[in-house]
Amino acid sequence: MPRFPSGVATPASIIDALKAAAGLRPGTRASFAWGRCVRGTYVPSDQAREITKSRSFTKPSRVLARFSLDDGNPAAANTELLLRGFSFRLGSDGQRSDIFTQSAPVHFARTLDQMLAFLAARILGPDGEPDWEKVEAFSASNPETLHQADYIAAHPLPASLAGTTYWGVHAFPATNSKGETRFIKFKVMPVGEEGRQTANETTAKPPDLLHGDIDSRIVARDIRFSVMALLDRPGDPVMDVTIRWPDENAREALRLGTIVVTGVETNDVCDDAVFNPANLAEGIGRPPDEMFAARCAAYAISQTRRR
């Protein structure tokens, strides 16, 4: 079991801590271990150029994407409180961008050291459970680490991965052809889902049924997402991924384009593609927060270890 020295967190130690806290086997993904690799197309909106000159967002392209659950047990029977993920790659010809979104608009830690301490408090004991007194003590002294869990608990997940709204927790500097730069957050919204799911249908499904739902919707050409850019305002926090921008749900958003999922790929295709959040085509810059830099390094390390 890895050690967790205070104040010396590294991307490599975070990977070890993620696996230890989740009880994952060597060779598996450190997070979002269960997944479904898919392909599709992206068509930009007429508005995309107002925000960015990035060819990955302003030109039509093929899409490689992965739906995922933040759980290491593919046989999990209850996914109701699990974080969902949707990662996608847009663009071609050296102008690719890899975007990572999830079903909650905030991360559970502000800094790498805080993330390591959060995970260390949740390491499983011999009984297969963490020390809940230790968890509660950490949460009391780090209340911002509860924001993600509170959001998940207050927002029941829809029955389908294809009906889920996904958020980017980082603030990306986007530059258009006029040289104007502003921060944006990505929000990926399902198209045509309003009113589709009744209260009885919102019970989350186990992974095998989520798989089947994705497959049947692909056959029906029934998976579409609007890729939205939430636009910043003066004073918005861009360094803290545990808090949302003020009035984020009601603020101005611009549709960058539409993703249509058209087929399923083997998991090896997504693994071989080497998704990395550091892959951003010119016109979309790297977020300035500490967690994004750590995430870029951690993805590269994790991919190397899995191979």
pLDDT tens, position by position, 28-64: 565 677 889 999 999 999 999 999 999 999 999 999 9
Any domain includes 6: no
- Cα 241 from Cα 245, distance rounded (Å): 10
Residue 30 is predicted with a pLDDT of 55
Residue 171 is predicted with a pLDDT of 98
Give the confidence band of 199 by pLDDT, cuts at 50, 70, 90. very low
Q: What is the mean pLDDT of residues 281-287?
A: 97
Residue 267 is predicted with a pLDDT of 86
Residue 159 is predicted with a pLDDT of 85
**Mean predicted lDDT score pLDDT of the chain:** 85
The residue among 130, 147, 26 whose CA lies nearest residue 16 is: 26
Domain span holding position 287: 11-306
For residue 149, is pLDDT > 90?
yes
Residues 6 or more apart whose CB falls under 8 angstroms from that of 109 comprise 115, 118, 145, 241, 242, 291
- Cα 226 from Cα 219, distance rounded (Å): 20
Residue 50 is predicted with a pLDDT of 96
C-alpha distance from residue 23 to each of 130, 152, 247 (Å): 11, 22, 37
Judged by phi (left if over 0) then psi (alpha if -120 to 50, else beta), residue 168 lies in beta
Any domain includes 2: no
Residue 93 is predicted with a pLDDT of 79
How many domains does one find in the chain?
1
- Cα 158 from Cα 166, distance rounded (Å): 12
In this structure, the number of other CB atoms found within 10 A of the CB of residue 284 comes to: 23
Any domain includes 176: yes
Any domain includes 302: yes
Give the confidence band of 244 by pLDDT, cuts at 50, 70, 90. very high
Give the confidence band of 122 by pLDDT, cuts at 50, 70, 90. confident
- Cα 202 from Cα 204, distance rounded (Å): 6
Residue 268 is predicted with a pLDDT of 87
Residue 203 is predicted with a pLDDT of 53
Query: Crossing angle of helices 290-306/112-120, nearest 10°?
Result: 60
Residue 198 is predicted with a pLDDT of 42
Give the E-state strand segments of 197-307 in sequence order.
Answer: 224-231, 253-264
Any domain includes 191: yes
Any domain includes 3: no
Q: Which CATH number goes with the domain that contains 274?
A: 2.40.180.10
Beta-strand relationship, 172-175 and 181-190: antiparallel
- Cα 298 from Cα 240, distance rounded (Å): 19
Any domain includes 5: no
Residue 305 is predicted with a pLDDT of 62
Residue 5 is predicted with a pLDDT of 43
**Sign of dihedral through CA atoms 262, 170, 244, 185?**
negative
Any domain includes 4: no
3-state class (DSSP) for residue 151: helix
Q: To the nearest 5 percent, what fractions of the chain are helix, strand and coil?
A: 30, 25, 45
